[in-house]
Amino acid sequence: MFSRILIANRGEIACRVIRTAQRMGIGTVAVYSDADAHSLHVAMADQAVNIGPAPVTDSYLRADHIIEAALATGAEAIHPGYGFLSENPGFVDAVVKAGLVFIGPSADSIRAMGLKDAAKRLMEKAGVPVVPGYHGEAQELVVLASKAREIGYPVLIKARAGGGGKGMRKVDNPDDFAEALGSARREAKSAFGDDRVLVEKYVAKPRHIEVQVFGDNHGNAVHLYERDCSLQRRHQKVIEEAPAPGITAEMRAAMTSAAVKAALAINYSGAGTIEFIVDASEGLKADRFWFMEMNTRLQVEHPVTEMITGLDLVEWQLRVAAGEKLPLTQKQIALNGHAVEARLYAEDPARSFLPAIGTLHHLAFPDNVTNGDIRIETGVRAGDTISPFYDPMIAKVVVHAADRTAALAAMESALVQTEIAGTTTNLAFLAALIRHEGFGSGDVDTGLIDRDLASLVAPSATAAGAKELAIIAASGLLEQPASDDPWATLRGYSHLSSPAYPVTLIEEEKPVRYGVAILNNERFMLSGPAGKIEVKVRRDASGWHVTGKGINLRAKTAAIPNGIAVLSKGAVSSFAVTDPFLLAEAAGNAADRLSAPMPGLVKSVRVSAGDMVKKGQILLVLEAMKMEHTITAPHDGKIAEIVTESSQVKEKSSLVRFETNE
C-alpha cells in the first residue's frame, strides 16, 4: 500500500479522499490555488502545496505543477478526484512517465470512453445497447442537420467529450438547429477543448439510471448496483438515490450485466460508472435502456452506493491502484436499504440556477435524522467564501434508511435542520423536490424539474415572527448578559418608561423605522408603521422561541453584512438593516441599461453600438462556471454602448446601454 498520496483536486472530494487515506494510515498531500489557501482540504491534509493563481487553467489544470508537487513531497500516487484532470488521458500518461501511480483507470481506458461517439461504437461491438443517433466523424452543419432530420425531431446535440450537461442542447425543430449547434460547440470548446458533437434521438420520458462498476488489474470486474439520477436541472444532477425506484429484478440483471460487459470490454481498472438513458413512458422494462456514456472516475454521487453496500469506494480505489485484487466478489456484495443524496449549491433557483457567491456567515448541519443515518460531504466551513472561480457546491447531504419512504423522510428532516446564511442557496428548492408528489411516488424523469419549476421555486411566505425577531436582534437587545453581571436583571430598566431602541429595515428598497422597547428580560414592545406589537422571546435548545399574537416561532439568528438572517425549519429570511442617513441608491438594471447577473467572461457579442434591436434579440453570451448564459434585449431600442468581447465582468457591472429619448 502507498505511504503517501497527493490529491489533485479541491473542495469536498479532496476532503473525502483525505478522510479515507488517513483512516488507512496513508499520508496526504493537498494542492491549492491562491484562492484556496485557507480551504478545509488544505487544513485537513498532512502537507499542502500552492500550484498557482485562482483560475483553474493556472492551477488545478496545470498537470506539470501537480506532478512537480507530488515528486517534491515524496508522494507515490495521485488521486484525481472528479472533474479537472480526472478524465484526461494525457495527464495519466504524464503521471506514469514521472514514475507515479495514477489512482484510476489506464489512459487507454479513458481514451476509449472519453469520446462519446467512439465509445458508443465500441459498446455496439460489445453488445451493449446504444441510443439511436449519429456518432460519426463528419461535423459540417449540413451533415449534422441532415442526420437530425433522419433521426427525427426532437434531437439532442451533445459534446462528444466531457459531460455534466455542458455542450448539450435539445432541439425541437429544424429552424433552431444551427443556433443550438453553435452554442453547444462554443460551450464544449470552452469546457473540454473539443467542439465536436454527436446527435441523438431525444427520449420523450427519459430516466437517467447508472451502474457503479469496479475493475482491477487481474481481469476482475463487478457492479455495485444502480443509482437513479433523473432529477436534473440544466442536464446536471440535483438529487440521486439508490436503488432506482420501481426497478425490477429482470431489469437490474440486464443493466448490471451490460455495465460489467462494458467494463470488461476495455479491461477497466478502478471505479467507473456506466450511464444509461431509460425510456420510462411505459414503466421500467429490460429492453428500454441504452448506453449513454461511461464516466471513468469516481462519481459525485458515489456516497449513495457506499450507503447501500456498506463499502468505501475510495478505499477500493487505493487498493486496486496498489495492485490488489477487488476486495469482494460479486456474490459478496449485498444491497441494504435505500439512500438519497441532495446536492446543496450556492445558486439561485429562481434566476435559472445562476451560481451565487458570498461568505457563509452561518453554516450548520444536523447530526442525526429521524429513522435514518446522515452523512455530510463538504469542503467548506462557516466563514468560508464561495468564490466565482469554482463549482459553487456547499455540501452533499446524504441519508440512508430501511426503505425509500423512510429515506425521503430522513432527507426532509436533514434539509429542514440545515442552516445557511450569507449567500443564496438551493436549500428550499431541494426540500420542495423531496416533498414533490410525483417524486415521492417514484414517477420521475429528467424533465420533472423543468415541468414543475414554477411551483418548486415559488417563494415561501416569511414565517410569522421572523421580522419581529430580526428587529429585536438588530437592536442588540437579544445579547445575553454575562452570568456574573450584577445588573443583568435590570437590563432595559427605566424609572419612567422603557426607551425605544431604533432599528431601520430596508423594505421594498425603502427605509422603514422601528422601535424596540424592553418590557422585562423576555418581553419586548415593537413599534412601527403598523402600530405596536408585544412579543416574548425565550432561548431554548433550538435557539429562540418567539411568541405573541399570531406568532409561535422557533428560530435562530445570524449576523450577515448589513443585516440579520432568521433561520427556521430549513428556510432563511434575510432582513437588510441600515442607517437611513447612509442609504445608497439601489443598483440593478434600468430601462436604459443591462447589468451582469453574475461575474463572468463575455464569450461573444452579437450586436454593435448604433444597432437597432428587437425585444428578445440575443445581444451577447456571458460565460460563467463553464456554462453559457444568453443576454437578450428586454425591449426594442438602439444600442448606445455594449461591453467588448472577451471582457471579464463583475456582478452588476454594465453590459449594455440603450439610447434614450430626452
Catalytic residues: 297
Distances (CA, A) of 19 to 26, 46, 314, 432: 10, 11, 10, 32
- The DSSP H or E segment spanning 262 is helix 249-265
Kind of pairing, strands 206-215 and 270-279?
Answer: antiparallel
3-state secondary structure of 511: strand
Distances (CA, A) of 456 to 431, 441, 569: 9, 17, 17
Residues whose CB is less than 8 angstroms from the CB of residue 447 and which lie 6 or more positions away in sequence, other chains included = 205, 206
Q: Nearest Cα to 292, choosing from 305, 306, 279?
A: 279
Amino acid at 165: G
Say how far residue 373 (Cα) sits from the centre of its chain: 22
- From CA 338, how far away is CA 227, in angstroms rounded? 10
- From CA 227, how far away is CA 208, in angstroms rounded? 9
- From CA 365, how far away is CA 105, in angstroms rounded? 35
Q: Nearest Cα to 500, choosing from 487, 482, 513, 512?
A: 513
CB 204 within 8 A of CB 187: no
Distances (CA, A) of 605 to 609, 613, 623, 644, 656: 11, 13, 12, 7, 11
Distances (CA, A) of 29 to 37, 65, 71, 364, 414: 14, 13, 11, 27, 32
Alpha helices in 509-630 (DSSP H): none
Q: DSSP character for 369?
A: B
> At residue 164, what are phi and psi to the nearest 5 degrees?
70, 20
Q: Nearest Cα to 270, choosing from 333, 226, 323?
A: 323
Alpha helices in 347-426 (DSSP H): 404-417
Q: Nearest Cα to 436, choosing from 415, 408, 400?
A: 408
Q: Give the alpha-carbon dihedral of 99, 100, 103, 104, to 10 degrees.
A: -30
- From CA 71, how far away is CA 99, in angstroms rounded? 9
Grid cell 452523512 in the structure block, residue: 375
DSSP calls for 310-357: T--HHHHHHHHHTTPPPSS-GGG----SEEEEEEEESEEGGGTTEE--
Q: What share of the chain is helix, strand, coil (3-state, %, to 5)?
A: 30, 35, 35
- From CA 508, how far away is CA 495, in angstroms rounded? 38
- The DSSP H or E segment spanning 557 is strand 551-560
Alpha helices in 152-208 (DSSP H): 177-192
Q: Any idea what the Cα angle at residue 423 is, between residues 419 and 425, rounded to 5°? A: 65
